[in-house]
Amino acid sequence: MCFKTAGTTMIQRIQTLYLLTALACILGFYFWMPVVSQGSEGPNKWNTNSVLDAINLVSAVLVLWSIVKFKQRLHQFVLNRLSIIFNFVLVGVFIFRSLNLSGEALVSQKGIGVLLPIISIVFLVLANKAIKRDEDLVKSVDRIR
């Protein structure tokens, strides 16, 4: 078997798999948003807020852009950090909304939608660790030359 060392593909790297998993969580977040049941009115989805949709879309675009920029590790690192910040904003909004729900008047079904930004943050952090490891490896090889 002959492997090319100069040009690695993006799928050969573990951080790409982490980023794809984070992207799946972010995109799945839109479909599994928490549903709040309001008595006889039926379910009321929280994703009627266009600001949350915009934050979710920006986060997904940042992760997708990070996957495409696989040869520029420092850009990937920065894009992932920005996406982590956007996901923390989503988590903060959900915590705020959960704390403001009255327990007796509304029966809430929070579901997996609240956990998906947290799961995507974990995978983005893992991807950043792998990117940092690759960058350190490249710097050490450059030092030897």
**Residues 75-99: tens digit of each pLDDT:** 999 999 999 999 999 888 878 877 7
Domain that residue 83 falls in? 13-31+50-102+113-139
Q: Let me know if residue 144 belongs to a domain.
A: no
- pTM given for the model: 0.76
Q: What is the pLDDT of residue 35?
A: 46
DSSP state letter for 123: H
| Number of folded domains that form the chain | 1
Compute φ and ψ for 94, nearest 5 degrees: -65, -40
Q: Let me know if residue 131 belongs to a domain.
A: yes
**Measured distance CA(102)–CA(57) in Å, rounded:** 29
Amino acid at 138: V
Q: What is the pLDDT of residue 10?
A: 60
Q: Let me know if residue 92 belongs to a domain.
A: yes
Please report which confidence band the pLDDT of residue 73 belongs to, taking 50, 70 and 90 as the band edges.
confident
Q: Let me know if residue 57 belongs to a domain.
A: yes
The answer to whether the beta carbons of residues 19 and 123 sit under 8 Å apart is yes
Q: When comparing pLDDT for 80 and 36, which is higher?
A: 80
Please report which confidence band the pLDDT of residue 40 belongs to, taking 50, 70 and 90 as the band edges.
very low
Q: When comparing pLDDT for 57 and 2, which is higher?
A: 57
**Measured distance CA(48)–CA(50) in Å, rounded:** 6
Handedness of CA 35, 36, 39, 41 (dihedral sign): negative
Q: Let me know if residue 74 belongs to a domain.
A: yes
Q: Let me know if residue 4 belongs to a domain.
A: no
Q: Let me know if residue 39 belongs to a domain.
A: no
Q: Let me know if residue 44 belongs to a domain.
A: no
3-state DSSP helix/strand/coil % of the chain, to nearest 5: 75, 5, 20
Question: Is it the case that residue 19 has pLDDT exceeding 80?
Answer: yes
Q: What is the pLDDT of residue 114?
A: 74
